[in-house]
A and B are shown apart, each in its own frame.
Chain A
């Protein structure tokens, strides 16, 4: 009995530590709800720590292609993600009219984009650290001679 309890405690402890480690960088969230008949409802939640791991599984050629396409904006995205983490939570941009509401804000080290529209609601949450990691990985994937 005591042996079973020890094994159970070991498994539970391992799962707890693994869970905490997996979610240490926060959660990436994508929620899309289309309001028309037959509209899509997408709700994706996954650990942000998994994104760099998933990116390492992407073929080098595809990563280099993505890197080339995003080259112009990568330093900006990286600098913004890095610097935003230094400031308290805030609403960076908010646009509201009679029907629509768009908000870009920072919340607990993540950037949050909320769009509320008569046609659809979109909510995206991405930890700033993940943006930094992704841009760093894309920068590494950049070919030395981008013209080739």
Chain B
């Protein structure tokens, strides 16, 4: 036992006070320390524009966050994490019918649809993925995008109309796991269950979902386990 109980009490009080102050000070960081564990899946979007401003847009969202936040949005067609689509139809292409056809098709079998506005949509199922390839020629003004470089050089030599002759073909490639498609189509005839799709997507490995390339922009959407995109837009 201490020979001076009063002093011992003061010392104990001082230590307790300091511990309490330290605990209060560190409390805001406790949650952060717990949250830094891995295992989260992140959805990344990167848009790189090749115009004069060279704009780049980068979005990084945890899939779990999107899963939990989407049901909180109830506006217009989006409610409870589902999108209601009255007509699964765009430019004469009935996407629901196409998806159903692909769902029931054998691996590698393509469904090709030509839209009213000169866009070719090719849909296939391969290795457990839904593949969609869209080539949009609607803005095409002169020649096919693979025209040779000599022609480009000629156009660029003082021809004021060079821009008008530039390639305006855009390519869209979508690669979605079939399990995600099934989950999204599972809720109802005129609905897409986005939350169920995200939930299923979180269970997949690293994958590139969407790639869009046209004259002015490159867009990439992918999922991985990193909370920041790779420096030059690589997925891994």
Contact = CB atoms under 8 A, between A and B. Distances in A.
Given A75-B73, A109-B28, 14 more contacts: A13-B17, A17-B17, A24-B24, A25-B28, A83-B62, A87-B65, A89-B32, A90-B227, A90-B228, A92-B60, A93-B58, A94-B57, A95-B56, A109-B31
Contacts of B164: none
15 contacts: A24-B28, A25-B28, A76-B72, A80-B65, A83-B62, A88-B36, A90-B42, A90-B62, A91-B228, A95-B56, A95-B57, A96-B55, A97-B54, A108-B29, A109-B29
Interface of B: 14, 17, 20-21, 24-25, 27-29, 31-32, 35-36, 40, 42, 49, 52-62, 64-65, 68-69, 72-73, 75, 227-228
B66 to A, nearest CB: 9
A97 B50 CA distance: 10
Interface in A1-28: 13, 16-17, 20-21, 24-26
A80 B69 contact: yes
**Size class of the contact patch on chain A:** 35 or more
A72 interface: yes
Given A16-B21, A24-B24, A83-B64, A95 B227 contact: no
Given A16-B21, A17-B20, A20-B24, A94 B58 contact: yes
A98 interface: yes
A36 B76 CA distance: 42
Contacts of B73: 75-76
Contact of B53 (A17, A26, A97): A97
Contacts of B56: 94-97
Nearest to B37: A88
Contacts of B40: 87-88
Contacts of A88: 32, 35-36, 40, 227
A21 B24 contact: yes
A143 interface: no
A109 B32 contact: yes
Contacts of A16: 21
A85 B228 contact: no
Contacts of B14: 13
Contacts of B36: 88
Contacts of A84: 65
B31 A85 contact: yes
A56 interface: no
A135 B56 CA distance: 32
Given A16-B21, A24-B24, A93 B31 contact: no
